[in-house]
Amino acid sequence: MKRFKKITTYTALALLPVFANSCTDLSEKVYDQLITDNFYNNKNEVVSAVLRPYTHANAWTTPGQNGWWRLSELSADQLAWPQKGRHGYDAGNWIRLHYHTWTIDDGPVRDCWSLLWTGLGFCTDAIENINKREASAMGLTQQEKDGYVSELVLLRAFHYLRIMDIWGNVPIVTQVGIPLSPETKTRKEVFDFVEKEILDNIDKSPVLSKSLLGRMSKAGGYAMLVELYLNAEKWTGTPRWDDCINAANKLINNEAGGMNGALELDPNLTDTYKPDNDLSKEIIFSIAYDYQISNFTPQWTGDFYHFNQSQINGNTLNGNDGVVVIPGVYTTFENADKRKKEWILEGPQWRYGSNGTVPVISSGGNEYNGEQLVFVDNIRKNKQGSTVSDMTQGEENSGVRFNKYKLGPTSDPHYRSTDWAVYRLTWVYLAKAEAIMRKNNGAATQEAVDLVNAIRKRAFAPEDWGTHEYTTTTLTMDELLAELGRELIFEGYRRQELIRWGKYTTASWWDHSASEGFRELFPVPQTQRVLNPNLGQNTGYPN
């Protein structure tokens, strides 16, 4: 049973009047003082405040809104949201993300800023209010109070890590409304702040266990350190490969707990993504859902699902026919690679449970209205016989599709309760392997090969494995980048990967040409700079 989700159900609505305003301009006071003084009177109210940033994180961590995921994936080389006939132009937002031509006030960038800073404000306000009260006055032991504060500080560090990833140079704010107009700090200063916050609180935080499903823990703290050190060379100019390896070892050696016993790789490709994936052995930190007891459900169906997707999955959920896999990415998966079939929808689509006998028929007056829905690995107007392929030339069936996370049919006892993994042990293995290779001038050691093979082996049948396992010769840096793309597809990290490989603004793919180097960072929204004149703009953007 998902204990965290039960608590969320009863507390999220109670907090809506309290968190009425945004803190995204970094200057306004989020709470009315009277409301705050009358809150935190018992443990339930404290838990409500602790959990509020987690429910909000659903909005920016996962697909479905203009958050970190959309900026990270739709500007990279695997996924796109092309216009398909009369659908998907959306003011050109997704086209500009793909081309790296976003402006200083594009909606996705502006919304992402707002969502992340609002979540950070939820953390900071709760930290302040819990800290200033005696534990007994809140119905807590001192140990409980300290644990909640440390958890929230780690969660705030997670927000800052993502903010630093997207914008680099931002203010450091640890008090609500103080200072009124905070100044921008360098990315190095933000990096040092995040690192210190994690290191100062990681040993005060509880080890990961089932009771912390969907919440930050010591294991989540180490996963953040892995990400921090993996990107340190790009974010600060100084590589931290040994620190990355050491943080990864804390998780691999099970020094920080696990959600279902000891952390270990899930044995197959579906356990991490199925409706009851709260039983996964490898998920470290997730956005947790439980449709059976609440209406708090995954929002990514809107981004990924076709207008008639419910027929494919045997449930009631359809989408906007939006995000697709960029042409050619599908062919980077070998035919023997089980991830190709398990995680991606391609070809003719059939009604759920029909064993390939009842076709899914397109409806709604689009290009293939009344015909079987067939997802194709191209983006062009095939109906018109056109061979032109770009972000404006799609049809409703253009592009192969997301099928990695499964919400299940309506008959599944865990229907719509699939948790979204933010950090999983597979990602840690790959990060450690990359750090080892970078430390070794890009050459694979046997340890790096073993780490990657332990993951990759799940994707091949035993009789095929011998011709698909890596060696120290075949696991090159370019091949590692390709394998990261296959294993972590749809998970949000592709932009980071391309930046570490120096390809995000220098490489070309499908309908994207090389862009200006400053595009590795997004612009600080102009609307926020009007609210706070001390906010600096990132280099390269209009000041």
Length of the chain: 543
Q: For 40-205, CATH number? A: 1.25.40.390
Per-residue pLDDT band for 30 (boundaries 50, 70, 90) equals very low
pLDDT number for residue 38: 76
Q: Both tokens of residue 197?
A: 């916050």
Residue of 60, 429, 69, 61 lying closest to 223 (CA atoms): 429
Residue of 244, 251, 249, 247 lying closest to 439 (CA atoms): 244
H/E element holding 428? helix 425-439
DSSP secondary structure of 23-91:
-TTS-S--S-HHHHHTS--SHHHHHHHHHHHHHHHHHHHSTTSSSHHHHHHTTSSSEE---BTTB--GG
* Mean pLDDT for the stretch of residues 235-263: 97
| Residues 307-329: tens digit of each pLDDT | 999 999 999 999 999 999 999 99
Instruction: Evaluate whether 346 touches 375 at the Cβ level (below 8 Å).
Output: yes
Q: How far apart are CA 266 and CA 492, in angstroms?
A: 20
pTM: 0.93
Decide which of 5 and 414 is more confident. Answer: 414
Instruction: Evaluate whether 507 touches 527 at the Cβ level (below 8 Å).
Output: no
DSSP 535: P
| Residues 91-121: tens digit of each pLDDT | 999 999 999 999 999 999 999 999 999 999 9
Amino acid 211 reads S
- Chain centroid offset of residue 182 CA: 28
pLDDT number for residue 35: 54
How many other C-beta atoms are found inside a 10 Å radius of the C-beta of residue 378?
17
Are β-strands 79-80 and 347-348 bridged in parallel, bridged antiparallel, or unpaired?
Answer: unpaired
Q: How far apart are CA 266 and CA 284, in angstroms?
A: 12
**Class for the domain spanning 206-298+405-511:** mainly alpha
Per-residue pLDDT band for 7 (boundaries 50, 70, 90) equals very low
Evaluate the omega torsion of the peptide bond into residue 179 and state whether it is cis, within 30 degrees of 0: yes
Q: How many CA atoms lie within 13 A of 280 on its CB side?
A: 29
| Residues 205-225: tens digit of each pLDDT | 999 999 999 999 999 999 999
DSSP secondary structure of 353-364:
TSTT-SBPBP-S
Give percent of the chain above pLDDT 90.
Answer: 92
pLDDT number for residue 36: 64
**CB under 8 Å to 350, separation ≥6 — which residues?**
312, 356, 357, 358, 359, 360
pLDDT number for residue 411: 97
Instruction: Evaluate whether 527 touches 107 at the Cβ level (below 8 Å).
Output: no
Q: Is the pLDDT of residue 19 over 90?
A: no
| Residues 420-448: tens digit of each pLDDT | 999 999 999 999 999 999 999 999 999 99
Burial 430-448 (b: 16+ CB within 10 A, else e): bbbbbbbbbbeeeebeeeb
State the burial class of residue 188 (Cβ atoms within 10 Å of its Cβ: 0-12, 13-18, 19+).
middle
| 3-state SS assignment for residue 240 | coil
| Residues 484-533: tens digit of each pLDDT | 999 999 999 999 999 999 999 999 999 999 999 999 999 999 999 999 99
* Mean pLDDT for the stretch of residues 134-141: 96
Instruction: Evaluate whether 197 touches 120 at the Cβ level (below 8 Å).
Output: no
H/E element holding 437? helix 425-439
Q: Is the pLDDT of residue 23 over 50?
A: no
Q: Is the pLDDT of residue 346 over 60?
A: yes
How far apart, in Å, are the Cα atoms of 164 and each of 33, 172, 341, 496? 30, 10, 35, 12
Q: Is the pLDDT of residue 31 over 80?
A: no
Shared fold status for 40-205 and 206-298+405-511: yes
How many other C-beta atoms are found inside a 10 Å radius of the C-beta of residue 523?
22
- What value does the mean pLDDT of the chain take? 93
Q: Both tokens of residue 118?
A: 């609002």
pLDDT number for residue 312: 98
Q: How far apart are CA 328 and CA 377, in angstroms?
A: 7
- Convert 151-166 into a string of H (helix), E (strand) and C (coil): HHHHHHHHHHHHHHHH
Amino acid 506 reads T
Name the residue ranges covered by the structural domains of the chain: 40-205, 206-298+405-511, 321-403
Q: Is the pLDDT of residue 12 over 90?
A: no
How far apart, in Å, are the Cα atoms of 244 and each of 208, 350, 417, 442? 20, 45, 32, 16
How far apart, in Å, are the Cα atoms of 536 and each of 168, 170, 171, 533, 542? 11, 8, 9, 8, 11
Residue of 406, 329, 366 lying closest to 85 (CA atoms): 366
pLDDT number for residue 98: 98
